[in-house]
Structure 1
Amino acid sequence: MTDASPLPSFDELRERAVVVALPLRVRFRGLDVREALLLEGPAGWTEFSPFAEYGDDEAATWLEAALDYGWQELPEPKRTEIMVNATVPAVPAASVADVLARFPGCRTAKVKVAEPGQRLADDVERVRAVRHELGAEGRIRVDANGGWNVDEAEHAVHALAEFDLEYIEQPCASIDELVQLRERIRYLDIPIAADESVRKAEDPVAVARAGAADLLVIKAQPLGGIRRALDIVERAGLPVIVSSALDTAIGLSMGAALAAALPDLDYDCGLGTSALFDTDVASFAPRAGTIAVGRIWPDADALERLAAPPERREWWLARLERCLAVISAREGR
């Protein structure tokens, strides 16, 4: 929402709210089911889906993004479709081919590594299987979600370097660790991308200012919406990749609108994750390696079929009310 725009009331939002629960094909980020609260705003459908463990202050930023997307007009798009990557969860190497088959035409794969309870050897075999499936021309990026310390990350990068990595995403948790690692692996010419150091930071540009990353991964919901994300990109002055937060098709369309509005977009984006669901609220899986830009509307039958149980709907509505109060307090309304 812009500063001049009045916030909708909780009663208005409650009347517009639909809570859904989408089963995942493969366990991802510790989840078997992804819940989301969808809202039909004056400008179109939007999504509020911070992960359950997030506190209200962090979740309120996701609500600001939802209100911005559902109540405001979009920035002028500079492209009509977005190239997207396949997303490979921390599955056994034998399952890689089945996962990649859900992303037809994608030339790039992002592979999850550093999964708790797994070993580096598991990561190596998973990435090896991806390289085998994509061939020499395919692009591979790995995402550690900050799971390694500097020594572990350096060791992992050396173990994975033979697979010609496009970049490594958030190998370590802190900016200081990223600075150290970037210096240690500089000679390997493998870029470092920052994700959590952007979306979970009080100052999302600090990682760029510190010279801790070569690229930024930006996500519309966690950063408070499309306009705020565009401002971060402008201030950071680094190339970016737009990625999802395991959104439904509605949230992915928000991400696509952000990607479409960027002045430059040189990397395939992580916005094809609808393919990880058994079914979604609308058709938004990649086709020929791309997704279309534009607002979408959920399928009425899908909303009914995927409706969350009543107790989960009440949980989300209570969270919505609390987060709306956080936004009102922030803005002094």
Structure 2
Amino acid sequence: MAQGQAVNMSLMDISKIFSLLQPKEEDEDGEQGQALNSAVSADDAALLSELLSQEKYRRCINAPSGWGVPVTPLRTAAALGHLRCLELLLEHGAEIDVLDVKAQTPLFTAVGGKHLDCVVALLKAGADPNGSQYNNCSPVLTAAREGDVDILRELLRFGAEVDVRPKVPEWASNATACRGPLYISAVYGHLGCFKLLLLHGANPDYNCTDDKMLARIKQPKTVVEVCLRYGCGVEYIQLLIDFGADVYLPTLIIDKTTKQNEALLLLLKERVCPKTLMSQARLAIRRHIPFADKDPAVDSLDIPLILRNYLKHRNSEL
């Protein structure tokens, strides 16, 4: 019966079968993309350059490939920290903010891998410092969690949002889900990142001055409360005070059982002692400087060096 059916097949049917067996253009593109990815994985810049000199490979520069989760060559270079390969791909027109299945950009993966040189190269080439709007996390949140001051500085220098929040639906918003970079750097004990975020304009009263947040969450935690809860050193509380945090916002119940550590005592002292005139003047001047990176503007002021350092909060060591 099967033989009879085969005999009765028309020439057109046979042609269709042969056409299905022919390699598809997507398959060919996948092979070229895999070749590019392999060269990047091996950090073989010479081979990658040779491949990209050919049109058929350049055409597939943004083609995802590989086992498991397919990724583009640029994403591979960023994840592995292979700078020269990354630069070659950018020079040949690789899509800079291409997303993987997790909605992560190459910049995001470079930040996660702590590859500073790749981060800088991507930012200079125009990568979005905030990552993807479709990813719950962001490069700044990642750098703050990892305590990578140098990478965080570059992200902020290129305009990353300093008070970025995890992107969760409104119905899922809570005090935990809405913790930003300043929260995270305090919880993980990264004092350098904590100060850097404040210097770039992070809100020391994060969450507690946001009307939308207050409407959804009855008692959002301030950064001061978080620092006290997680046992952060007195340096954190002092920085928050210096950068104008409202020391009356935390709803703290102080009784005989409350642990009287140095950070709490500093907060209680600040509540009864007004700020010095110099401290208030520094806050007012910094608020009127319109840039996130205020140091260049401060350096241009015709005032003594000691005052410029004071405005840049360089009067004390970390």
What is the TM-score of this pair, normalised by structure 1? 0.27
Looking at both structures, which has the greater relative contact order when contacts are Cα pairs under 8 Å and sequence separation is at least 6? Answer: 1
Larger radius of gyration: 2
More strand by percentage:
1
The structure with the largest helix share of the pair is 2
Q: TM-score, normalised by structure 2?
A: 0.28
